[in-house]
Chains A and B, each alone.
Chain A
C-alpha cells in the first residue's frame, strides 16, 4: 500500500501569474449550484411519475405540475439537459486548470459564459414551468412550444461553445509555455469532451436556428418532423457521450488514485478518447431505425458505426478495471476476483463511482440491443428505453457525478464532508433503488409497455404490466430518499461542517505513462479532420437530400 501511495509526483508547478485557485473555484461552484438545483427539481418530478406508474396519485400535485406530461418534461429537461450541462461546464475547466497547474485563459470569459447560460436557462424556464413547453426534452415538432423555450436552450448551447473556446485558449497558452511536453491526461480528456460536444451540437444548433426558432416566432409557417428529428439525433446521440466522458475522465485520472493505485495505461486512455472524438457523432440514425423517410442502407451504416464506438468503451472498461485492480492489490488484495473486495469501499466517492461502473456494464449491453438493427424493433419507444437511460445517464453518469461532488464540494468549500456514513448509505440506496426501478422498466418494455405514457390511465393497461408497476414506484421512492440524503449531506457540508479540508486535487500516476504514447496522440488536426470526414460520409447524402426536398408544410400544434 505504502509503495503506491508514495508515488504522487507534484503536479506541474504554476507558471508566473495567477495561480489556479480562488477565481476558478468560485466559477466551478457557481455552475455546481445551478446543476444541483436542477437535479433537485428533476428528482421531485421523477418521484411523481414513479408513483403515478404505481397507481398512486399524489394529492395537490396540480399545484406544481399541470399534468403527468408536464412533470415528465420538467424531469427530462432538468436532469439530462440542465444538471449534466451545468455540472460538466463547471467540472471540466476545473480539472483542466488543476491538471495544467495554470489559470483559465480568461476568468472574465468564464463568468460571461456562466451568466449567458443562466440567462438562457431563465428564458427557457418560464415556458417550461408554466406548461407552455410540455414537449419533452426531445421537443419533436410539430409539437410547438413557446419560442422562449427554444431561444433559451440555444443560448445555453452557445454558452457551452464559449467553455470550449476558453479551454482551448487555456490549453494553447500551456503549450506555448511548455514546449515539447505532453498534455496532462486530465486536461487532454477534458478538451476532447468539449471538442466532441462542439462538433456534435451543430445539428441541434441548425435545428434551433433554421427551423424551430423562426417557426415558433411565426416567421415561417411550417416545419418538418423528419428533418428536425435527423438534426436532433445528430446531436442527441453524441450528447450521451458528452454526459459520459466527464465520468470517464474521473474514472481514468482520479479514481485509480482514490483507490490507492495507479492508472494502468495512459496511452490507451488517450487512444479511447481520440476514438470518442472521431466516432461519437456519425451514428445518430440508430435512434431512427423505425422512422420512415431514411433509407434502410444508411440505417445499417449507422448501426455499424455504433458498434465501432463500442470499441473505445471496451478499452475504457479494461483500463479502468485494471487500474482498480492495481489499487486493490496495493491494498493487499489477492486472487483473480477476490481483490475486488479490497477496494476502499468506505470512501463514498469510490463506492459511488465503482457502483456506477458496474451499472454501466449493464447499461452498455442494453445499449447494444437498442443499436442492433433488428432487435431495436422489440424495444423502440417502450419502457425498456427509460430503463436503459436510468442505468446510463441516471446512474453511470449521475452517481459518478455524485461521487465526484463528495470530494469536489469539500475541496471548493474547504470543509470536510459532513457525514461519510450518510454518503455511503446514499450510494447503496441509489444502487438498490435503481436495480429495482430499472429492472422493472426493462421487463415492462419487453412486454410492450410504451414509454412516456401516463400508463395508470391507459385503457390498454394489462394485468401483466399492473403486476410489475408497483416496483417502479418502490424503486423510484428509494431513489428519491437517496437523492434527499445526498442534498442534505451537501447542504450540511457547506453550511455546518467545521472540519477543514485541503484544496488540492490529486491525479493518478500511470503505470504506462504519456511518454509511451505515439506523438500522433497529441495532434489535434488529423483527428478533427477525420471526425468531420466521417460525419460528411455518414450524414452528408441523407442531409443534403432532405435539405433540398423538404417542403416544410407541417403547421404545428399545442396539444397539452
Chain B
C-alpha cells in the first residue's frame, strides 16, 4: 500500500504541474490577445432613467451622426420590439460607436460578423465600437428574450462601398 501510495503521488505530481501550467498559459494568451488586439468589452458608460429615455440626450434624437472623418455614432433606443433607428447606413471603413439603451425590458445588440455583442439594460447606457470594412447588409439582432414577439426585433446595418 505504501509503495502504491508513492507511485500514485508521482503520477499526481506529473499531472498537477501541467494542470496549473495549461490554464496559466491560456490566461496569458487570452490577456495578450484581448489587449494586444485592442478588444474592449462594454464597461461603465453612465446611467439613464428608463422612463425618461425619450427626454434625455442623446436618446431624444436617435439616429446616425458623423463625428469625424470615417467615424460615426449611432444613438439608439431599443423598445419592445424595435430599434430606433432601424436602418444604419455608413460607408466602408467606418468606425461606428453604438450608444444605446433600453426603454423597457432587457434587449440585445448583436451584429453577427462584426464583433458587436452587447446587452441593452434599462437604466444603463451601453457603448460599443466596431469597424465595418466589408460592404454589405448586416443584420442587427435582439438576442435576449424580451417577450412574445422577440423574434421580430431587428434592424439593419448597411455598409455602402465608397464611390
Q: Which residue of chain A has its CB nearest to the CB of B152?
A: A459
Instruction: Say yes or no: B26 contacts A307, CB within 8 Å.
Output: yes
Asked whether, in the complex, the Cβ of B122 is within 8 Å of the Cβ of A459, the reply is no
- Tell me whether B8 is interfacial, beta carbon within 8 Å: yes
Say whether A544 faces chain B, with CB atoms less than 8 Å apart: no
The answer to whether A511 and B8 touch (CB under 8 A), given A377-B115, A448-B112, is yes
Question: Which 10 A-B pairs rank lowest in CB-CB distance, beginning with the nearest?
Answer: A448-B112, A559-B147, A450-B143, A512-B8, A314-B19, A381-B143, A225-B121, A292-B126, A296-B43, A458-B151
Decide if B62 is an interface residue (CB 8 Å cutoff).
no
Q: What B residues does A458 contact at CB under 8 A?
A: 151-152, 154
Q: Are B51 and A373 in contact (CB under 8 A)?
A: no
Using A225-B105, A551-B49 as known contacts, list a sample of 7 further A-B pairs with CB atoms less than 8 Å apart, ordered by residue number in A. A142-B104, A225-B106, A294-B43, A299-B41, A315-B16, A318-B12, A457-B151
CA distance A373 to B5 in the complex (A): 40
Which of B15, B37, B152: most chain A CB closer than 10 A?
B15
| Pair count A-B, CB < 8 A | 202
Assess whether A224 is in contact with B12, with CB atoms less than 8 Å apart. no
With both chains docked as a complex, state the minimum distance between the C-beta of A216 and any C-beta of chain B, in angstroms.
15
A315 and B15: CB pair below 8 A? Answer: yes
Question: CA–CA, A455 to B139, complex, Å?
Answer: 14
Bound complex: CA A359 to CA B90 (Å) = 44
B75: interface (CB < 8 Å): no
Q: What CA separation (Å) do A224 and B42 show in the bound complex?
A: 18
Interface assignment of A419: CB less than 8 Å from any CB of chain B: no
Taken together as a complex, chains A and B put the C-alpha atoms of A374 and B34 apart, in Å, by 6
Binary flags per residue of B17-50, CB closer than 8 Å to A gives 1, else 0: 0011011101100110110010111111101011
Instruction: Collect the chain B residues with CB atoms within 8 Å of residue A448's CB.
Output: 110, 112-113, 139, 141
> Does residue A412 face the partner (Cβ distance < 8 Å to B)?
no
B145 A452 Cβ-Cβ under 8 A = yes
Q: Residues of A within 8 Å of B, CB-based: how many?
A: 69
Which of A67, A224, A447, A450 makes the CB contact (< 8 A) with B110?
A450
Quick one: which of B126-158 are within 8 Å of A by CB? Answer: 126-127, 139, 141-148, 150-152, 154
**Are A559 and B154 neighbours in the complex by a CB distance under 8 Å?**
no
Asked whether A454 and B151 contact (CB < 8 A) given A382-B143, A448-B112, A557-B104, the answer is yes
27 contacts between A and B (CB under 8 A): A140-B106, A225-B106, A225-B121, A225-B123, A226-B121, A289-B41, A290-B118, A292-B43, A292-B125, A293-B44, A294-B43, A304-B27, A307-B30, A314-B22, A373-B41, A374-B34, A374-B41, A380-B117, A381-B144, A382-B112, A448-B110, A448-B141, A450-B142, A458-B152, A551-B47, A557-B105, A559-B80
Q: A460's contact among B19, B34, B102, B139, by CB below 8 Å, is which?
A: B139
Nearest Cβ in chain A — how far from B151, in angstroms?
A: 4
Q: Pick from A299, A315, A559: contact of B146, CB below 8 A.
A: A559
Given A224-B123, A315-B19, A450-B143, do A290 and B154 touch, yes or no (CB 8 Å)?
A: no
- In the assembled complex, the CB of A445 is this many whole angstroms from the nearest CB of chain B, namely 10
Q: Known: A381-B143, A459-B154, A551-B123. Contact between A296 and B40, CB under 8 A?
A: yes
A382 to B144, CA, bound (A): 9
Which residue of B11, B40, B123 contacts A554 across the interface (Cβ within 8 Å)? Answer: B123
Nearest residue, chain B, Cβ from A453: B151
Scoring A142, A292, A372 by chain B CB atoms within 10 A of each residue's CB, the highest score goes to A292
Q: Which residues does chain B contribute within 8 Å of A300, judged by CB atoms?
A: 31
Q: Closest CB of chain B to A130's CB: distance in Å?
A: 15
B159 within 8 A of A: no
Which A residues touch B27, using CB under 8 A? 303-304, 307
* A553 beta carbon closer than 8 Å to chain B: yes
Interface residues of A in 267-291 (CB under 8 A from B): 268, 288-291
Partner of A307, one of B23, B34, B39: B23
